[in-house]
């Protein structure tokens, strides 16, 4: 029987979050810290890492930070090694970091930018999962959560390369769920449009009209996604793997 007082707790776990200093990644890191986890954060900017570390320590979490890009092949191994060395484990990997330097039709996109998107958004998560598997999870088990997007489930204008990368990440989630079972659960969470700085160009010009397209009458905020992420990482989802949790405020209702 699930005890609601402990089912969503992560006490004794160490959680690695990529892109964990802003937006959805930051909200997930804070949710996991509030649930009792130690946190490792990977991001590119030292000043943002320092501010995030201070905030997570104020919650009461043990924290390590790793400066680097998910596009750098060495960062994943270094991050997991640091987690194990300083926090004692790497139990949960949350692949949140993503880039989108190409905006517009794929027929006009710079192919170098497209290649960067695919490397950071697909190969990057695979690097982190491989590092965690080889250094910790193959022996101790664990959880992987990939932050994808509803854009990976249907075609849309302007961010085609990003959407293709998220579609591939959805399939990677299912592939890894099969390959790493039963020791490691692998799931994904798919937000609709969330009010983050990265997505500002999409929601800020016409927020009210866009909110009306959601059954719940508003756009998402990072904490909406963090709540779902905590569920998928916790023992409350112990019999769930290879799935994609859509968190879209009911935007998909009007499409069915």
pLDDT per residue rounded down to tens, the chain (256 residues): 677 779 999 999 999 999 999 999 999 999 999 999 999 999 999 999 999 999 999 999 999 999 999 999 999 999 999 999 999 999 999 999 999 988 899 999 999 999 999 999 999 999 999 999 999 999 999 999 999 999 999 988 889 999 999 999 999 999 999 999 999 999 999 999 887 766 656 655 777 777 887 889 888 899 999 999 999 999 999 999 999 999 999 988 765 4
Q: What is the CATH number of the domain that holds 53?
A: 3.40.50.720
Looking at residue 196, its pLDDT comes to 76
> How many domains does the chain fold into?
1
In angstroms, the CA 15 to CA 12 distance is 10
Q: Report the predicted TM-score, pTM, of the whole model to 2 decimal places.
A: 0.95
Instruction: Please report whether residue 223 resides in a domain.
Output: yes
Looking at 30, 162, 167, 229, which residue is catalytic?
Answer: 162
Instruction: Collapse the DSSP code of 55 into the 3-class scheme (helix H, G, I; strand E, B; otherwise coil) and give the result.
Output: helix
Whether 231 is catalytic is: no
CA distances, 79 to each of 14, 74, 136, 169, 230 (Å): 12, 9, 12, 21, 21
141: left (phi over 0), alpha (psi -120 to 50) or beta: left
CB 67 within 8 A of CB 49: yes
**Which tokens in the block code for residue 80?**
């997991």
**Which tokens in the block code for residue 224?**
């909406």
Instruction: Please report whether residue 210 resides in a domain.
Output: yes
Q: What's the domain range around 190?
A: 14-243
Instruction: Please report whether residue 97 resides in a domain.
Output: yes
Looking at residue 12, its pLDDT comes to 98
Instruction: Please report whether residue 2 resides in a domain.
Output: no
């Amino acid at each position: 029987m699930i005890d609601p007082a402990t089912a969503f707790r992560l006490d004794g776990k160490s959680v690695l979050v990529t892109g964990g200093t802003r937006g959805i990644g930051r909200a997930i890191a804070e949710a996991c810290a509030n649930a009792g986890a130690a946190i490792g954060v990977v991001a590119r900017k030292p000043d943002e890492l320092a501010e995030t570390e201070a905030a997570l320590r104020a919650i009461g979490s043990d924290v390590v930070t790793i400066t680097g890009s998910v596009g750098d092949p060495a960062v994943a191994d270094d991050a997991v090694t640091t987690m194990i060395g300083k926090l004692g484990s790497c139990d949960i990997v949350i692949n949140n970091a993503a880039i989108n330097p190409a905006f517009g039709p794929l027929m006009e996109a710079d192919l170098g930018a497209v290649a960067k998107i695919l490397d950071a958004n697909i190969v990057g998560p695979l690097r982190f999962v491989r590092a965690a598997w080889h250094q910790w999870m193959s022996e101790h088990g664990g959880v992987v959560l990939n932050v994808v997007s509803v854009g990976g489930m249907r075609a849309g204008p302007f961010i085609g390369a990003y959407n293709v990368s998220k579609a591939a990440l959805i399939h990677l989630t299912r592939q890894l769920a099969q390959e790493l079972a039963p020791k490691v659960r692998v799931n994904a969470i798919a937000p609709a449009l969330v009010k983050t700085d990265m997505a500002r160009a999409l929601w800020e010009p016409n927020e009210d009209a866009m909110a009306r397209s959601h059954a719940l009458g508003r756009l998402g905020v990072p904490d909406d996604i963090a709540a779902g992420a905590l569920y998928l990482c916790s023992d409350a989802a112990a019999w769930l793997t290879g799935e994609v949790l859509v968190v879209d405020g009911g935007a998909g209702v009007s499409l069915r």
